[in-house]
Structure formats: C-alpha cells, structure tokens
Chain A
Amino acid sequence: DAGITQSPRHKVTETGTPVTLRCHQTENHRYMYWYRQDPGHGLRLIHYSYGVKDTDKGEVSDGYSVSRSKTEDFLLTLESATSSQTSVYFCAISGGNSPLHFGNGTRLTVT
C-alpha cells in the first residue's frame, strides 16, 4: 500500500542490542498501531497511538516502547532485543470508524 511504509523490511540483530522500526504514513490518519505476528497467536497489539505524542500499551507491550513526534511517523523501539522478540512486525493505520490498512511488515530476527 503506497500510503503506509515500514522500514526496514528485514533486520537481523544480536541479543541485547537496541532496534528501532519505523512506520511512515502519507494518509494523515489519526490512529497508528504496531502488531506482531507469531504462529498460533495471529496478530497481537503491541502499542498504538491516537495522536501526536499520544500512545498507549497493547496486550504485549513489555520490552517495547514507541514514539510519535509527528502525525506521519510511528516508531517502535526494542530497548534490548531478546530472542523472544523474533517475529514479523506490522504497522497499521486507521482514520477512525474505518478499516485498518497495513504496511508490508518487517521481519526481525534476534540471534
């Protein structure tokens, strides 16, 4: 989807290193989300944002932090990556009362 871009698309990192994933949107949508996808768990909400500098925790937020300093960017940071954070991460956006639009995902491997 041209309106939402995730970077990087793939990342391999070592245990204990910090990692930041970026989600960029051009739709001017209010809501932005970070999900992780794991076998048997579907999509689980990590954090979400309902406006600039307004964020809240999801169901699996431990070990993750987020920031949203402007409408178009939502950053997900793993402060000290662990092997349990190996996953595919999806960013999504919504204008409210509308379906989610997803980015193409970031495959993160923590060795």
Chain B
Amino acid sequence: ILNVEQSPQSLHVQEGDSTNFTCSFPSSNFYALHWYRWETAKSPEALFVMTLNGDEKKKGRISATLNTKEGYSYLYIKGSQPEDSATYLCASPNTGNQFYFGTGTSLTVIP
C-alpha cells in the first residue's frame, strides 16, 4: 500500500484567482504520478501522467510539476473559472500497477 496524501482537503477561490495544491507520495520505488479531475456525478478523468523528475505538463490553464526525489507534485490552475470546480485526485502505482489515491482536493470557484 502506498501512502499518497493531498493538501489542502478543500479550497474556495474567487473566479480569476490562480491556485495550486499538493500531492505527496513515497519517493522510493517511484513509477509514476497521475492527476485526475473528478466532477460531481461523473467519473474521474485523467489530466496528467508524469514519470520523470522535473516533468512539467500543461493542459490549457492547468499545469503540473513533479519532484520524485522529494516525493511531491503540484497542480496549478491559472485564472480559475467556475467550470474548474471539481475534486482533483492524484494517484501513484506500485510495482504491480496497483494505483493508490490521495483523498483529493475539492476546489470550488466562486463566480
């Protein structure tokens, strides 16, 4: 079992604000770090798959960075919009491709 942690648990921001949250994971035997976006009443959808130390991924206003040596990843949202409201999950697989998730960061963007 991998101990994957996310902070903060929830976040409320005003429309137009930029925000970021953290995922921490065991740095030993690292394989990959995934970010998912989970909207209410839907299923989680993959945002990024990151594997290399120093990786930076970007999709529109959302970006992510990875530090495998210290065991953390940041997700950034620039200029938050109400449609960004969702729970953001990170997950890391072990050697057997079992994925363990953090408890998520719930983001609410206030218009």
Interface residue? A100 (CB, 8 A): yes
Interface size class of A (residues with CB under 8 A): 20 to 34
Interface residue? A50 (CB, 8 A): yes
Binary CB contact string for chain A from 35 to 68 against chain B (1 if under 8 A, 0 otherwise): 1000011111100101000001011000000000
Shortest C-beta distance, B62 to chain A (Å), equals 15
Q: Is the CB of A43 within 8 A of B101?
A: yes
Interface residue? B89 (CB, 8 A): yes
Considering residues A41, A42, A56, which has the most beta carbons from chain B within 10 angstroms of its beta carbon?
Answer: A42
Shortest C-beta distance, A34 to chain B (Å), equals 11
Which of the 9-residue segments B14-22, B43-51, B67-75 touches chain A?
B43-51
Binary CB contact string for chain B from 69 to 111 against chain A (1 if under 8 A, 0 otherwise): 0000000000000000000010100001111111110000000
Kindly state the separation between the CA atoms of A56 and B96 in the bound complex, as whole angstroms. Answer: 10
Interface positions, chain A 53-109, Cβ under 8 Å from B, are 56, 58-59, 90, 92, 94, 96-105
Residue of B nearest to A99 (CB): B46
Q: Is the CB of A50 within 8 A of B97?
A: yes
Total chain B interface residues with beta-carbon distance under 8 A:
20
Considering residues B1, B32, B99, B101, which has the most beta carbons from chain A within 10 angstroms of its beta carbon?
Answer: B99
Given contacts A50-B96, A56-B96, A59-B1, is CB(A42)–CB(B101) below 8 Å? Answer: yes
Shortest C-beta distance, A103 to chain B (Å), equals 7
**B-side contacts of A56, CB under 8 Å:** 96, 98
Q: Is the CB of B100 within 8 A of A59?
A: yes
Kindly state the separation between the CA atoms of A43 and B104 in the bound complex, as whole angstroms. Answer: 9
Residue of B nearest to A91 (CB): B43
Please tell me which one of the listed residues B1, B97, B102, B104 contacts residue A94 in the complex, with CB atoms under 8 A apart: B97
Kindly state the separation between the CA atoms of A50 and B94 in the bound complex, as whole angstroms. Answer: 13
A-B contact pairs, 10 of them (CB 8 A): A42-B103, A44-B101, A48-B98, A56-B98, A92-B99, A98-B49, A100-B46, A102-B44, A102-B45, A105-B43
